[in-house]
Amino acid sequence: IMAKLVSPSMLSANFLNLENDIKMVNDSEADWFHLDVMDGMYVPNISFGLPIVKQINKIAKKPLDVHLMIAQPERYIKDFKAAGADILTIHYEASTHLHRSIQAIKAEGMKAGVAINPHTNVTLLEDVLKDIDMVLIMSVNPGFGGQKFIEQSIHKIKRLRMEIESSGAQTMIQVDGGVDNTNAATLYDAGADCLVAGSYVFKANDPQEAISLLKKA
C-alpha cells in the first residue's frame, strides 16, 4: 500500500524557538516529526538526544519518527520509547544483531525502521523485510542537513519497491536527504511512501507551503 507522507526534519528548525517550529508542523499538512539523533561516532556530527525528544513530545501532535544515527543503537531502544518515539529507525550498518534489535523495538510497541547508507545495497534487507515497518533509504551520507541529493538513490527506491511488492511485505519506504520540490514527484513515482525534508522546509519563506508542495508532488 503506497502513501504520500511528509516528515519534516527538525534538524533544520530554529532551536532558539523550537516551540514555534513544532506548532508550525502541528498546523501543517505534515504527517510526522522527523528527529535526527547523532552521536559523533556513527556519524561525524552531534545533534540532540533524549531530553530534546522528550520536550518535543510534550507539544507535538503528530507521531515522532526518530532516526538514530548512533553506534550500537540497541542500547537506547527503551529510552527512546520512554521519550515518546513512535517510529524508531536504526542503521543497518550500526547494529550487529539487527534482527534482535528490530524485535526489541517492536516489543516496546514502536514501529521499527531500518536505514541504509548510500553504499548499502537494498537486497541486504531481504531477510528482515517482513519484520520491519519501514526502510529508510539515505539519499545523502548521514550526518548533516543541506547536502546534495544522490541520484543513484532513485534506482535503489525502484529496486526496493519491486522487492517489497514481490515478497508481499507491507514495508514502507522513506527517503531522507536532499529532498525538495524538484525531486519529490520522482521519488513518490519511484515507490517512496514518505519523504523527509529539512532545509527545503525550514529555509522556505513559507514552510507550511513547502510541506504542502511535497504532499501534492
Catalytic site residues?
36, 176
Minimum CB–partner distance for residue 175 and Zn ion (Å): 10
199 binds ligand DX5 (CB under 6 A): yes
When binding is defined by CB under 6 A, the residue of 84, 113, 191, 198 that contacts ligand DX5 is 198
Structural contact between residues 150 and 139, judged by C-beta atoms closer than 8 angstroms: yes
Q: Following DSSP, what letter does each residue of 24-88 receive, concatenated? A: HHHTSS---EEEEEEBSSSSS-B---HHHHHHHHHH--S-EEEEEE-SSGGGGHHHHHHHT-SEE
Query: How far, CA to CA in Å, does 69 sit from each of 8, 111, 114?
Result: 17, 17, 11
Task: Identify which of residues 9 and 153 has a Cβ nearer to ligand DX5 in the complex.
Answer: 9
Minimum CB–partner distance for residue 165 and ligand DX5 (Å): 26
Site for ligand DX5 in 27-46 (CB under 6 A): 34, 36
Choose the stretch contacting ligand DX5; rule: CB under 6 A; options: 16-24, 105-113, 162-170, 176-184: 176-184
- Residue 26 is placed in which grid cell? 502541528
Choose the stretch contacting ligand DX5; rule: CB under 6 A; options: 5-13, 92-100, 104-112, 120-128: 5-13
178 interface partner picked from Zn ion, ligand DX5, none, CB below 5 to 8 A per type: ligand DX5
Structural contact between residues 94 and 124, judged by C-beta atoms closer than 8 angstroms: no
